[in-house]
Structure 1
């Protein structure tokens, strides 16, 4: 009898739900009873949709849990919930509305409802003023679209949802538009919707009337993908000469300080090349050609919005930075942007270094020199750094007189200004040394001798691989060794059965051949490189040898006069630049500037606020006892105690006092010995 009384199926929905999932056919009557109960409560709810209904919420979750067991009777159940939410979502009680949404999510996870209709409904529900509901819907939308495209891309569903989101971004409700934008950004970051259409739909957010949506769109285009950066850094070591190759290259021959210095310099050049290569591979997929269809029209439209914008200054800077990246990467002709930026280049301007960054980022070699004028408002370290970055992208933007004037700051007392000026000198030692004073040109290298000055709009198209002449010279040297001497032994052991050390000298031979190339004229080397490039297919080892020779050109001095000049000091950070600049390139400080007296005093007082006294306090055993004479002397006036022996200090003796003391000591010892 006790077991019969414990069976409370009509009222215990969790127990009935568990039993139905195990054996659906045995509990059809109980299910029909609960389903009729649900229909009656549904009619009551339609009369008063704004009233809470706990019983209806329990029945809805029960039917959603057992929906896969009775698909025929519950065929219209998802459509009923969808219709209720679509027509009454603004007036339904929040807990009951959350229950309906969770029931639909449960039915979607069991594949009992179409994803397109459900996701469109959830986007409509984003207009509700319920933060918890919006968070739940956002999580489900991202997860559901991810599951839809897990095995293969469902282009039909993706196209429908993207078109719907395009309309949602223009919705009058800013909350719904902002969450729709967040969904698209999250799907792009997860590589689910990483196509060009998604990016171009997100561009519409930059022209929204809501500031939050504009900022979110700009942050998406200005953001950085750390995964791609790590991948590029990990792959950079496999494509060029390694540290071991350089050590083998410069360890041949006599051990001397000269070879050691050459190796150290080659190490710096290698680190610069690896850093530059990794920075250039840092792929901003959201602003490249294959993603933005009409980036020229888009940049012009965004500049027009910026000129008439009344947003905060931080938002304007973000717009300027985005436009500058578009102009610099795609080499656009947006001449109105440069005078607009130069209006903000004032000494008192807030965040002037970010504006300098935009001016440098928007520079490229196709900008006419008369359009891109170097601002000369304030010669500080940040401005010199910005001028260096502009000149690196557009060398014709700086005149010879201005360059020589800036070079004089190499002896400035401020180290930051001095190092910035030296970085500018270092840049033009490789670009165009003739623009510098003779004393600033440094020791010429093979690479600087081969560098050619380009006119405006001139492009250098090579018909050969630079450095390929080493392969022909190397083959000639190997043929000479085969004719004149024996081939090196590659055996692992001798006749007596003992092991013999075998020396592999491929890298050493490459270094010796590279030294032979210095005696060959430049025209002959180019002819040999063209012959090698057009007559054979190069392997990875061949490209590795070519890169080693090109790396040596940055180290070896050019043959001829001028060898007594000091070698060029390379700065890894100055010469390593990619297609995207960072604020660190402009605000780079080699030495922290000194604080003024007020700043130091404020820092000291702030540190004393929470600090306890380190002086040991002597507490009296009897607080009512009188003070001693020693304690009383501490409170007396110094002029009253200056003649007392108790306040006299030992002090530091003068030279005359030491002389008299030593004389008295010697006289005393002399008397003792008599």
Structure 2
């Protein structure tokens, strides 16, 4: 018995995986063996604390230490009291606490992997895990960093899947705040020019990237998340600033390229597989199989690229969840103005874009921004279209016109004159139009008249831009136009006094347009559910069934209580004398005429009361659905469909040009991504206006090529395939039959046949004879 026990000990101590299996099966029987390995682990751990360099120099010791970490972590669930300090020890090793130095190489990866395993076994909670992994991000290698990042995102997403884990979110958000605040006191170096010292702030960079990923995946969507990104927008590190600015702008084209997101990995892997398949197909030309694989991978790459492109959109919720947007906007402007010579143009344009969007969304008045941006309003300025977009987006109806008038003059002087190209003039007029669309009172009458004259330009873009400016002022302020430019509709509107002055707030809309259509739709659905009976009929039937049961009893009680018949005395009837004599005839006619007039007045009063009650009923009907039901996004989507259907029916019934215009507006709103995006934010295309066909992007070119390849083989011809019973293409011999005779005479084949020697002719004849013999047999 002793011999077998000693043999067992020798066997299991040399094979840790086997001992691990035995411990998990029977922890009590193998506790002694586990303690031997655990004490060995503690001795190597103390060696790492006292002399980490000496411990890590021996490869054999390092491998043994990694194996022991894995073994103890796997068996920790079997001996919870003995291994209760294991998570703290692993965390201290990773973070360099308690005398430890940062682990290197595979040892760090082993510690991280086992710490995650302890979390999966519920030995530790998510807070303990993330408090260790988050500070480790800036110091880890590429592969380990990707593992840590994926682990953090997965853990947070799983913890907030069924319900928001507010305790975990508060702890992690506090850690991210600390990572950003740790470098806020540093000096701003800037990113303009070369030869600057290396910037610091890796922790803040990773904090912003984690916030972006969690926001994009829908794990965090609260105002505290936005506050983290808002704090990072003023970090001294320009890369951190850029990442925070792109978070609000909704784009992924950051200055840094260290963001190894899942989407980027997907696109990169798809491209790598496609290139490898194309290379193999070029070397091993063995039929259509490899070509089909290449086509399949090409479609997968295009889909991955397209999916990534569609994810980029303006981050409206983040802008709306800003805490104290006025202070945020003022700090952005101060940062832009103070470090104007330190920041590069690309970085300054990013700040302008975010500042303008915040001003437009929250209707802020940061007047110094318009004075600052004037110096960039020149047609030869780099990225001038983005600057013009930022200028237009910052304007709203509460912006003082006096501040914008110098900006409009500057635009007209720099962009709209005969010394520049047509595209520059079109961009300048379009920019002026977009500014005036938001604040029409900043325009001067003389300048407006000069700009409208460009509608006679031969260039289509310039004429379209001037026409758009003319149409705008016909709608918003026709009084500034000359009489010949106003048009009939604008002149009538000017007479009616419909021009809104500066600071005028429109009356709030009463109800929701087309809400009655949604009410009718719901009523039809309820009627169908009730078996074809409407709600009003069902309510009337219920009243009819139960309302007349006690009619006789109520009537008897009323008559008894009143004491029988009642004598009604009419007022003013004592003076009436009934007589048939001729003398009394004029008086009777007067009395009849008076009674007739009174009856007509009563009818008019009844009609007016009826019309008033009808109007009130209609208003009640219109607002009843909004009062009784909270409309969801699905209801609004259904309402848009019903409005579009009603507009189509109106056009089909001959509603005229007004119905067609309304239908066109609804269809345009449906095609656009969001109506909010159209009204708030601009694009470079709206500033540039109508232009000649521009060069296609890579995605557009690939889509155009793929559309042209539909329905045919690669490099195949469609000739002869549609007109034959069996799909095939013509052969070279068939094509040679239609060749002109003079071209065939001078062809190389005919010429060489004429010049052939007697020996060559004999060889060719002999080959022909042999071929004929083979065909016969």
TM-score range, shorter chain: 0.5 to 0.7
For the structure 1 residues 424 and 463, does the alpha-carbon distance in structure 2 shift closer, same or farther, using more than 3 Å as the test? closer
Q: Which residue of 1 aligns with 2:387?
A: 355
Deviation at residue 93 of structure 1 after TM alignment: 2.6
For residue 213 of structure 1, the aligned residue among 221, 240, 246 is 240
> Per-residue CA shift, 1:147-185, capped at 9, x if unaligned?
222232222222222222211102245112211221122
Instruction: Tell me, yes or no, if structure 1 residue 455 matches structure 2 residue 464.
Output: no
- The answer (yes or no) to whether the contact 2:23–2:30 under 8 Å persists in 1 is yes
Where does 1:240-319 land on structure 2 (aligned, <5 Å)? 284-288=316-320, 291-309=321-339, 310-319=342-351
Deviation at residue 198 of structure 1 after TM alignment: 1.4
For residue 400 of structure 2, the aligned residue among 368, 373, 386 is 368
Deviation at residue 408 of structure 1 after TM alignment: 1.8
- Measured in 1, the distance between the counterparts of 2:349 and 2:457 equals 31
- Measured in 1, the distance between the counterparts of 2:442 and 2:619 equals 35
Where does 1:331-480 land on structure 2 (aligned, <5 Å)? 331-373=363-405, 374=408, 375-376=411-412, 377-379=414-416, 380-438=425-483, 440-441=485-486, 444=489, 452-462=498-508, 464=510
> Per-residue CA shift, 1:99-154, capped at 9, x if unaligned?
21222121122121243333223233234263333333222222222222223222
> Per-residue CA shift, 1:547-593, capped at 9, x if unaligned?
9689989x8679xxxxxxx99x9996999732122222213333248
Q: Which residue of 2 aligns with 1:579?
A: 680
For the structure 1 residues 59 and 470, does the alpha-carbon distance in structure 2 shift closer, same or farther, using more than 3 Å as the test? closer
For the structure 1 residues 551 and 199, does the alpha-carbon distance in structure 2 shift closer, same or farther, using more than 3 Å as the test? farther
- The answer (yes or no) to whether the contact 2:478–2:486 under 8 Å persists in 1 is yes
Instruction: Tell me, yes or no, if structure 1 residue 537 matches structure 2 residue 595.
Output: no
Q: Which has the higher contact order (CA 8 A, sep 6+)?
A: 1
> Per-residue CA shift, 1:449-483, capped at 9, x if unaligned?
98921101011215745989999xxxxxxxxxxxx
Secondary structure of 1:10's aligned partner: helix
For the structure 1 residues 220 and 39, does the alpha-carbon distance in structure 2 shift closer, same or farther, using more than 3 Å as the test? same
Instruction: Tell me, yes or no, if structure 1 residue 136 matches structure 2 residue 147.
Output: yes
For the structure 1 residues 467 and 65, does the alpha-carbon distance in structure 2 shift closer, same or farther, using more than 3 Å as the test? closer
Deviation at residue 409 of structure 1 after TM alignment: 1.6
RMSD of aligned residue pairs (Cα, Å):
4.6
Q: Which residue of 1 aligns with 2:175?
A: 164
- Measured in 2, the distance between the counterparts of 1:175 and 1:542 equals 49
- The answer (yes or no) to whether the contact 1:328–1:363 under 8 Å persists in 2 is yes
Structure 1 or 2, whichever has the larger Rg, is 2
Q: Which residue of 2 aligns with 1:190?
A: 217
Secondary structure of 1:348's aligned partner: coil
- Measured in 1, the distance between the counterparts of 2:617 and 2:657 equals 26
Q: Which residue of 1 aligns with 2:591?
A: none
> Per-residue CA shift, 1:26-56, capped at 9, x if unaligned?
4333322322221232233333213431100
For residue 228 of structure 2, the aligned residue among 182, 187, 201 is 201
- Measured in 1, the distance between the counterparts of 2:102 and 2:415 equals 62
Q: Which residue of 2 aligns with 1:636?
A: none
- Measured in 2, the distance between the counterparts of 1:177 and 1:381 equals 43
Secondary structure of 1:72's aligned partner: coil
- Measured in 2, the distance between the counterparts of 1:154 and 1:542 equals 36
For the structure 1 residues 13 and 308, does the alpha-carbon distance in structure 2 shift closer, same or farther, using more than 3 Å as the test? same
- The answer (yes or no) to whether the contact 2:93–2:103 under 8 Å persists in 1 is no
Deviation at residue 186 of structure 1 after TM alignment: 1.4
Stretches of structure 1 that go unaligned for 5 or more consecutive residues are 226-280, 472-489, 491-524, 559-565, 595-615, 622-674
Q: Which residue of 2 aligns with 1:82?
A: 91
Where does 1:546-565 land on structure 2 (aligned, <5 Å)? none
Deviation at residue 322 of structure 1 after TM alignment: 0.5
> Per-residue CA shift, 1:42-83, capped at 9, x if unaligned?
233333213431100011011112222222221121122222
Q: Which residue of 1 aligns with 2:64?
A: 55
Secondary structure of 2:403's aligned partner: coil
Between Structure 1 and Structure 2, the one with more helix by share is 2
Deviation at residue 316 of structure 1 after TM alignment: 0.3
Deviation at residue 90 of structure 1 after TM alignment: 4.5
Q: TM-score, with normalisation over the residues of structure 2?
A: 0.55
- The answer (yes or no) to whether the contact 1:467–1:529 under 8 Å persists in 2 is no
Q: TM-score, with normalisation over the residues of structure 1?
A: 0.63
Secondary structure of 1:343's aligned partner: helix
Q: When the two structures are aligned, how many residues end up with a matched partner?
A: 486
- Measured in 2, the distance between the counterparts of 1:161 and 1:462 equals 43
Q: Which residue of 1 aligns with 2:17?
A: 14
Stretches of structure 2 that go unaligned for 5 or more consecutive residues are 1-6, 57-61, 184-199, 253-312, 417-424, 518-531, 533-610, 627-637, 696-745, 752-777
- Measured in 1, the distance between the counterparts of 2:157 and 2:623 equals 44
Secondary structure of 2:182's aligned partner: coil
Q: Which residue of 2 aligns with 1:243?
A: none
Q: Which residue of 1 aligns with 2:269?
A: none
Q: Which residue of 2 aligns with 1:122?
A: 133
- Measured in 1, the distance between the counterparts of 2:207 and 2:118 equals 23
Deviation at residue 434 of structure 1 after TM alignment: 4.3
- Measured in 2, the distance between the counterparts of 1:527 and 1:381 equals 55
For the structure 1 residues 556 and 369, does the alpha-carbon distance in structure 2 shift closer, same or farther, using more than 3 Å as the test? farther
Deviation at residue 210 of structure 1 after TM alignment: 0.5
Where does 1:453-532 land on structure 2 (aligned, <5 Å)? 453-462=499-508, 464=510, 532=618
Deviation at residue 534 of structure 1 after TM alignment: 5.9
- The answer (yes or no) to whether the contact 2:389–2:431 under 8 Å persists in 1 is yes
For the structure 1 residues 68 and 440, does the alpha-carbon distance in structure 2 shift closer, same or farther, using more than 3 Å as the test? farther
